[in-house]
Amino acid sequence: MGEASPEALQGEDWAGEMGARWLANLDRFEGMIAPIGAALLARADYQPGERVLDLGCGGGATTLAIAEAVGPEGEALGLDIAPMLIAAAEERAAAAGSRARFVCADAATVRIDGPPFGRLFSRFGAMFFPEPVPAFANLRAMLAPGARIDLAVWAHPRDNVWMMEIMGVVRAHVEVPPAVPRAPGPFAFEDLGYLEEVLTAAGFSAFEAEAHQGVQAVGGPGATPEEATAFALASMAAGQLLAEQGEAVLAAARADLEAMFARHHRPGEGVMLGCKAWLVRARA
């Protein structure tokens, strides 16, 4: 068994490597988390005329949906640090004739001109701030007093069977140091109490969370075990760790991932594994 290099475990570089990975696998990532996005959008229940900031909007799928809901009197602005994702989102909006607009900037420090936003939305775009309290305080400064925020954040990995299963296979082939609690990354807010602390320290109130539990299609709806394996290896940091161990380790891990995904494959649906996210609401 090999050991992970420190480089492979550094924070996620969304403006560079990680943004490029997300873009290269955009349909598969978005397909996988579409049910959570739909649940968060339903909970947010945007109305015509609202002005909404979509934090960490990625390829902009949710921004386009919000633009549709708020209509021509409203506004949907997608904000993301990754230039290649903002470019893709702008292309999509143009192709769809959407009124969604996009800004490429670091949400921790950006100031967007114009009147304050009445709402803030984020599907898995709020967990990557190295210093979350000043970042959320900066976002709050762009919101109207009392503005509602709706965030989806991953619950603990132990409740995310998809992650446990993938990491179980990876750990059989490479030594992965334990995760640092609260470090920026997909599971930064696995402890919901910590997210409440951060939001409260940043000036938000009326914190409320609802669990969203279900199954999700790893690699997107309809993916075969082979496609889900290729997706996991190409898109997750764990794939990079395995690739660093050389071809023999990578090939053995690929075979084990395919076998594991095959056990969860439902024809017509895809590789279906359990997931849990928190749908969080608070007020500025």
Ligand X SMILES: C[S@@+](CC[C@H](N)C(=O)[O-])C[C@H]1O[C@@H](n2cnc3c(N)ncnc32)[C@H](O)[C@@H]1O
What is the Cα–Cα distance from 162 to 147, expressed in whole angstroms?
34
Q: Give the 3-state DSSP-derived string for 26-84, with helices as H, strands as E and coil as C.
A: HHHHHHHHHHHHHHHHHHHCCCCCCEEEEECCCCCHHHHHHHHHHCCCCEEEEEECCHH
Nearest to ligand X of 75, 80 (CB atom): 80
Q: Is 81 in the site for ligand X (CB under 6 A)?
A: yes
Nearest CB to ligand X, comparing residues 70 and 107: 107
- State yes or no: residue 14 binds ligand X (CB under 6 A): yes
Please name which of 55, 70, 56 lies closest in space to residue 18, comparing C-alpha atoms.
Answer: 56
50 binds ligand X (CB under 6 A): no
Binding piece for ligand X, criterion CB under 6 A, among 30-38, 215-223, 236-244, 275-283: 30-38
Cβ–Cβ < 8 Å for 216, 123: no
Confirm or reject binding of residue 265 to ligand X (CB under 6 A). no
Residue 167 CA to residue 277 CA, distance in Å, equals: 18
Is 125 near ligand X (CB under 6 A)?
Answer: yes
Residue 281 pairs in a beta bridge with 150, 208
Burial (CB count <10 Å: 0-12, 13-18, 19+), residue 7: exposed
Q: Which of 251, 256, 252 is nearest to 225 (CA)?
A: 256
Q: Is residue 80 a contact point for ligand X (CB under 6 A)? A: yes
User: Residues, the chain, total?
Assistant: 284
* Token reading at 40: 């968060």
Residue 30 touching ligand X (CB under 6 A)? yes
Q: Is residue 56 part of the contact set for ligand X (CB under 6 A)? A: yes
d(CA 35, CA 31): 8
For position 88 contacting ligand X by CB under 6 A, the verdict is no
Report, in Å, the least distance between residue 123 CB and ligand X.
4
Q: Would you say 18 or 262 has its CB closer to ligand X?
A: 18
Q: How many CB atoms lie within 10 A of CB 257?
A: 26
Number of shown-chain residues binding ligand X (CB under 6 A): 25
Instruction: Tell me how far, at minimum, the Cβ of 110 lies from ligand X, in Å.
Output: 8
Beta carbon of residue 23, minimum distance to ligand X (angstroms, whole number): 9
Of 102-110, 193-201, 207-215, 243-251, which part binds ligand X (CB under 6 A)? 102-110
Token pair belonging to 88:
């893709």
Binds ligand X by CB under 6 A, chosen from 64, 66, 67, 85: 85
- Touching ligand X, residues 175-234 (CB under 6 A): none
The smaller minimum CB distance to ligand X, of residues 33 and 275, is found at: 33
23 binds ligand X (CB under 6 A): no
Q: Does 261 bind ligand X (CB under 6 A)?
A: no
Q: How far is the CB of 63 from ligand X (least distance, A)?
A: 9
End-to-end Cα, the chain, rounded Å: 49
Q: Catalog residues that contact ligand X under the rule CB under 6 A.
A: 14, 19, 22, 30, 33, 37, 56-59, 61-62, 79-82, 85, 106-108, 123-125, 128-129
